[in-house]
A and B are shown apart, each in its own frame.
Chain A
Amino acid sequence: MGFSIGTTGAGLGPRGALDRFSDKVEGKVFNLEVVLRLLIYVRPYWFQMTVSVLLLLISSALVLTIPYLVKIAIDQSIAQHDLDSLSRVTMWMLGAFSGLYLTSLGQQYLLSWIGQRVLANLRNEMFRHLQSLSLGYHDTRIVGVTLSRVISDVAVINELLAEGLVTLVGDTLLLIGIVVTMLSMSPRLALLTFSVLPLMLLVTILFARRATAAFRQTRARIAAVVGDLAEGLSGIRVIQAFAQEDASRTQFDAVNRENRDAYIEAMSLSYIFLPSVEFLGMVATAIVLLFGGLFVIRGSLTIGVVVAFLAYVSRFFQPIQELSQLYTTMQAAMAGGERVLNLLDTVPDVLDSPDAIECPPIAGRIELKNVSFAYLSEPVLHNINLVIEAGQTVALVGPTGAGKTSIANLVARFYEAAEGAVLIDDHNIKQIRQHSLRSQMGLVPQDPFLFSGTIADNIRFGRPEANDNQVKEAADLANALEFIEAKPNGFQTEILEGGVNLSLGQRQLVCIARAVLADPRILILDEATASVDTMTEVLIQEALVQLLRGRTAIIIAHRLSTIQHADQICVLDSGSIVEMGKHEELLARKGLYYTLHAS
Chain B
Amino acid sequence: MSTTSPHRRQPPKKAATQIRVALPPAGSRWILGRSYRYLKGYLRFTTGAYVFTIVITLLTLFIPQLIRQIVDQGIGQKNPGLLASYIPTLLGIMVVKGVLTFLQGRWTEIASQGVAYDLRNALHHKLSSLSFSYHDHAQTGELLTRAIQDVERIRFLTGRATLRLFEGSILMLGTLVVLVLMNPRLGLLSLATIPILVAVAFRFGSIYRPLSQQIQQQLSVLTTRLEQNLRGSRVVKAFAQEGAEIARFERENEQWFHLSELSVRILAVNVPLIDFVASISTAIIIWFGGRLIILNQLTIGELVAFTTYLSQLVNPVRRLGQIIPAIAMAAASGERIFEILDADSKVTDAPDAIELPRIQGAVHFENVSFSYLGQQEVLKDVSFEAAPGQVIALLGATGSGKSSIISLIPRFYDSTNGRITIDDYDIRQVTLQSLRLQIGTVLQETTLFATSIRENIAMGRPDASEEEIIAAAMDAQAHNFILETPNGYDTEVGERGITLSGGQKQRIAIARTLLMNPRILILDDAMSSVDTDTERLIQIALERLMQGRTSFIIAQRLSTVRLADQILVLDHGRIAARGTHEELLRSSGLYTDLFHQQIKS
Contacts and interface: CB of A to CB of B under 8 A. Distances in A.
B447 A226 contact: no
Contact of A10 (B147, B315, B436, B512): B315
B475 to A, nearest CB: 18
Interface string B105-131: 110011001101100110011011101
Contacts of A7: 311-312, 314-316
B465 interface: no
Contact of A412 (B238, B282, B293, B460): B238
Which applies to chain A's interface (DSSP): helix, strand, loop or mixed? Answer: helix
A90 interface: yes
B267 to A, nearest CB: 7
A77 B290 contact: yes
Contacts of B2: 452-453, 494
B290 A78 contact: yes
Given A239-B128, A244-B460, A412-B237, A3 B275 contact: no
Contacts of B149: 18
Contacts, number: 431
Interface in A1-20: 1-7, 10-11, 13, 18
Interface in A238-289: 238-245, 247-249, 252-253, 256-257, 259-260, 263-264, 267-268, 270-272, 274-276, 278-279, 282-283, 285-286, 289
A263 B238 CA distance: 48
A93 interface: yes
Interface string B257-280: 100110011011101110110111
A207 to B, nearest CB: 13
Given A131-B246, A599-B532, A272 B315 contact: no
Contacts of A497: 224
A509 interface: no
B504 to A, nearest CB: 13
Given A222-B148, A233-B140, A276-B98, A599 B535 contact: yes
A108 B272 contact: yes
Given A231-B450, A264-B109, A297-B83, A438 B237 contact: yes
Contacts of B87: 286, 289-290
A54 B318 CA distance: 28
A524 B504 CA distance: 30
Which applies to chain B's interface (DSSP): helix, strand, loop or mixed? Answer: helix
A13 B250 CA distance: 34
A235 interface: yes
Given A116-B261, A146-B226, A271-B102, 18 more contacts: A10-B318, A106-B268, A108-B267, A124-B246, A138-B230, A240-B131, A244-B459, A260-B114, A264-B113, A268-B102, A282-B91, A294-B83, A296-B75, A414-B234, A451-B228, A452-B1, A454-B4, A514-B239
A249 B437 contact: no
A135 B314 CA distance: 56
Contacts of B239: 438-439, 441-443, 461-462, 514, 518
A571 B600 CA distance: 20
A51 interface: no
A540 B500 CA distance: 31
B399 to A, nearest CB: 7
Contact of B233 (A78, A98, A138): A138
A13 B90 CA distance: 28
A81 B295 CA distance: 9
Contacts of A230: 140, 144
Given A90-B283, A237-B132, A462-B239, A108 B529 contact: no
A241 B443 contact: yes
Nearest to A143: B230
Nearest to B445: A237
Interface string B303-344: 110011001101110110000000000000000000000000
A243 B437 contact: yes
Contacts of A531: 526
Contacts of A330: none
Contacts of A127: 226, 229, 246, 249-250, 253
A433 B193 CA distance: 68
Interface string A194-226: 000000000000000000000000000010011
B261 A97 contact: no
Interface stretch (A40-48, A178-186, A302-310, A583-591): A302-310
Contacts of B250: 124, 127
B226 A109 contact: no
B395 interface: no
A135 B224 CA distance: 19
B298 to A, nearest CB: 10
A377 interface: no
A127 B245 CA distance: 9
B80 A97 contact: no
B257 A120 contact: yes
Q: Report, as a range, how many residues of chain B touch the other chain.
A: 35 or more
A347 B397 CA distance: 50
A293 interface: yes
A143 B227 contact: yes
Contacts of A70: 286
B308 A293 contact: no
B223 A147 contact: yes
B106 A147 contact: no
Contacts of A316: none
Contacts of B242: 131-132, 435
Contacts of A28: none
A116 B260 contact: yes
B297 interface: no
B236 interface: yes
Interface in B59-93: 60, 63-64, 67, 70-71, 74-75, 78-80, 83-84, 86-87, 90-91
A99 B121 CA distance: 53
Contacts of A293: 70-71, 74-75, 80, 83
A353 B236 CA distance: 21
Contacts of B531: 399-401
Interface residues of A, number: 151
Contacts of A558: 529
A253 B450 CA distance: 17
A89 interface: yes
A209 B138 CA distance: 42
A236 interface: yes
Greatest chain A CB density within 10 A among B78, B94, B238 is at B238
A104 interface: yes
Contacts of A276: 98
B26 interface: no
B238 A442 contact: yes
Contacts of B71: 289, 293, 303, 306
Given A131-B242, A260-B114, A457-B4, A113 B294 contact: no
Nearest to B105: A271
A461 B238 CA distance: 11
Contact of A529 (B3, B129, B516, B528): B528
A257 B282 contact: no
Given A275-B98, A445-B234, A112 B67 contact: no
Interface in B419-435: 432-433
A234 B280 contact: no
Nearest to B276: A101
Interface in B530-569: 530-532, 535
A242 B291 contact: no
Contacts of A128: 246
Contact of B1 (A234, A279, A457): A457
A332 B230 CA distance: 26
A241 B449 contact: no
A75 B75 CA distance: 14
Contacts of B223: 147, 151
A20 to B, nearest CB: 12
Contacts of A454: 1, 4-5
Given A147-B226, A256-B120, A268-B106, A533 B397 contact: yes
B18 to A, nearest CB: 20
B9 to A, nearest CB: 11
